[in-house]
C-alpha cells in the first residue's frame, strides 16, 4: 500500500514525506537520497556560497536522482543579506519546479519570480494566521511547523497537536505537518489531524546519507525528548537547538539580566555551527535539533527510514486501529 494525497500528486512523489531545507545539511547527497527513496528531497540554497554554486549543486543533484527534488530559500532580513533574487534565478535556470520558502514576507518577491516558471511553492510557517496569509498570497502548499520543531518555532508555542488541526480547519490548500515527526505513528497522526503529508528535519539528519559528522548524528540519537533548548526568546527570534555544553552556556548567558546578542555571538555564529557539523566537535557551536530526538534511536539509510515509516503507518491503520473498531 502507499498513501496518495494532494501533496503526493502535486509534487509527483511516491510517499507523503518531505525533507525540509536545512542549512549546511541540505546538499545533493541527502536530497537525492530522500527523493530516490520516494520522498521529496530539498537542497538548501543558502548553503551554497553563491548562486553559481547553487546552479552546480542542482546539476549534481539531478545527476544523482531522476526523481523530483526541491530547493529551499530562507529569507531573513540580515545586515549582509545574500542576493536572494540571484539565488532564485539560479533555481529557475536549473529548471527546479518545487521550492520551499521560509522567513519573512519579503519571500513573496521570490514567489513572484518563480511562479511564472511553473514552480510549486511550498511555504513554511508557524501560525495559522501566517498560513492563511500565505494562501491568500498564492502559495500552493503550506508547511505548518509546530512548537516541537528544530530551527525557528515562532513565538506562539502552539504544539502540532493543536496547530495542525487548527490550520486544517481554515486553510484550503494542502497542508504538510512539520515539527516532531520521525516515524509511522507521526505520519498517521498528521494525516488524522488534517495534513496531507509530513515534513522532517531532525530525523533526516540522523541518516547515513546526511552529509554531517557521525558525532553529530550520534548526538541526535543520544539526546532524548528533553534534549533541546529554546534560545533567543528575548529577541523575539526564538530558535530550538540541540542540548550540549555550548547550548547550555548560551542559555545561561542569555538568562542574565540585560543580556545582549553580543554576549553569545561567538557561540552561535553560523560559521561555528558549520564547523561543528563538519568536524563533529560539539564544543565549536550550536546545532539545530527538535524534540523528536526522543524518537530517534538509530542511523538508517533514507530508504530504510522512509520504508519503515510507511510500513509502520500501514500497520497502525490496518491492524492497530482496525483492531480497535468495536
Ligand atoms: C540542521 C537543521 C538546519 C535547518 N535549517 C533550516 C533552514 O536553513 N531553513 C529552514 O527553513 N528551515 C531549516 N530547518 C528546519 C527544517 O526545515 C524543518 O522545518 C524542521 O526541522 C522540522 O522540525 P523537526 O526537526 O522536528 O522535523 C533546519 C532544521 C535542522 C534540523
Query: Ligand 1 centre and the CA of 149: distance in Å?
Result: 7
Cα(54)–Cα(61) distance, rounded to whole angstroms?
10
Question: 63: Cβ–Cβ under 8 A, 6 or more apart, which residues?
Answer: none
**pLDDT for res 172:** 98
- Which grid coordinates are listed for 49? 556560497
Q: Is the CB of 44 under 6 A from ligand 1?
A: yes
**pLDDT for res 120:** 98
Residue 163 sits at φ, ψ, to 5 deg, of -65, -40
Domains and CATH numbers, the chain: 6-209+301-324 (3.20.20.70), 214-291 (no CATH)
Give me the residues paired with residue 239 across strands.
231
Radius of gyration of the chain (CA): 19
Q: Is the CB of 26 under 6 A from ligand 1?
A: no
Cα(280)–Cα(171) distance, rounded to whole angstroms?
41
Query: Ligand 1 centre and the CA of 202: distance in Å?
Result: 7
**pLDDT for res 102:** 97
Query: Ligand 1 centre and the CA of 319: distance in Å?
Result: 33
Which residue among 17, 18, 21, 72 has the greatest number of ligand 1 atoms within 8 angstroms of its CB, and so is best to mutate? 21
Closest CA to 16 of 118, 141, 172, 166: 141
- Per-residue tens of pLDDT for the chain, all 326 residues: 689 999 999 999 999 999 999 999 999 999 999 999 999 999 999 999 999 999 999 999 999 999 999 999 999 877 789 999 999 999 999 999 999 999 998 999 999 999 999 999 999 999 999 999 999 999 999 999 999 999 999 999 999 999 999 999 999 999 999 999 999 999 999 999 999 999 999 999 999 999 999 999 999 999 999 999 999 999 999 999 999 999 999 999 999 999 999 999 999 999 999 999 999 999 999 999 999 999 999 999 999 999 999 999 999 999 999 999 99
State whether the Cα torsion 52-57-60-62 is positive or negative: negative
**pLDDT for res 79:** 76
User: What is the atom index within ligand 1 of the atom nearest the CA of 42?
Assistant: 17
Which residue among 18, 22, 139 has the greatest number of ligand 1 atoms within 8 angstroms of its CB, and so is best to mutate? 22
**pLDDT for res 78:** 77
**pLDDT for res 300:** 99
- Is there a contact between 202 and 220 (Cβ–Cβ < 8 Å)? yes
Mode of pairing for the β-strands spanning 41-44 and 69-75? parallel
Mode of pairing for the β-strands spanning 239-242 and 228-231? antiparallel
Print burial letters for 175-200: b (CB count within 10 Å at least 16), e (below 16): bbbbbbbbbbebbbbbbebbbbbbbb
- Which grid coordinates are listed for 317? 491503520
Query: Ligand 1 centre and the CA of 22: distance in Å?
Result: 5
Maximum separation of any 2 CA atoms in the chain, in Å? 61
Q: How far is CA 94 from the centre of its chain?
A: 22
Cα(185)–Cα(292) distance, rounded to whole angstroms?
12
**pLDDT for res 1:** 67
Amino acid at each position: 500500500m502507499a498513501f496518495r494525497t494532494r501533496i503526493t500528486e502535486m509534487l509527483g512523489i511516491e510517499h507523503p514525506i518531505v525533507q525540509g531545507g536545512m542549512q549546511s545539511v541540505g546538499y545533493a547527497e541527502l536530497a537525492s537520497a530522500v527523493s530516490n527513496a520516494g520522498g521529496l528531497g530539498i537542497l538548501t540554497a543558502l548553503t551554497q556560497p553563491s548562486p553559481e554554486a547553487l546552479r552546480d549543486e542542482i546539476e549534481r543533484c539531478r545527476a544523482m536522482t531522476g526523481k523530483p527534488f526541491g530547493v529551499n530559500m530562507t529569507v531573513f532580513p540580515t545586515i549582509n543579506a545574500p542576493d536572494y533574487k540571484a539565488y532564485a534565478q539560479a533555481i529557475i535556470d536549473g529548471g527546479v519546479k518545487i521550492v520551499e520558502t521560509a522567513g519573512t514576507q519579503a519571500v513573496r518577491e521570490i514567489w513572484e519570480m518563480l511562479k511564472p516558471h511553473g514552480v510549486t511553492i511550498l511555504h513554511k510557517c508557524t501560525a495559522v494566521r501566517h498560513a492563511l496569509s500565505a494562501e491568500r498570497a498564492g502559495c500552493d502548499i503550506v508547511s505548518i511547523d509546530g512548537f516541537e520543531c528544530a530551527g525557528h518555532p515562532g513565538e506562539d508555542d502552539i504544539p502540532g497537536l493543536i496547530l495542525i488541526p487548527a490550520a486544517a480547519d481554515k486553510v484550503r490548500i494542502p497542508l504538510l505537518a512539520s515539527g516532531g515527526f520521525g516515524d509511522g505513528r507521526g505520519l498517521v497522526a498528521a494525516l488524522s489531524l488534517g495534513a496531507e503529508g509530513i515534513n522532517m528535519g531532525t530525523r533526516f539528519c540522523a541518516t547515513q546519507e546526511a552529509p554531517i559528522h557521525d558525532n553529530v548524528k550520534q548526538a541526535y540519537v543520544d539526546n532524548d525528548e528533553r534534549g533541546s533548548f529554546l534560545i533567543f526568546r528575548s529577541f523575539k527570534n526564538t530558535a530550538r537547538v540541540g542540548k550540549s555544553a555550548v547550548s547550555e552556556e548560551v542559555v545561561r548567558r542569555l538568562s542574565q539580566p540585560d543580556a545582549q546578542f553580543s554576549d553569545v555571538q561567538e557561540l552561535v555564529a553560523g560559521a561555528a555551527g558549520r564547523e561543528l557539523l563538519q568536524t563533529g566537535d560539539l564544543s565549536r557551536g550550536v546545532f539545530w535539533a527538535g524534540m523528536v530526538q526522543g524518537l530517534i534511536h538509530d542511523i538508517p539509510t533514507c530508504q530504510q527510514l522512509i520504508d519503515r515509516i510507511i510500513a509502520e503507518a500501514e500497520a497502525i491503520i490496518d491492524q492497530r486501529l482496525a483492531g480497535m473498531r468495536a
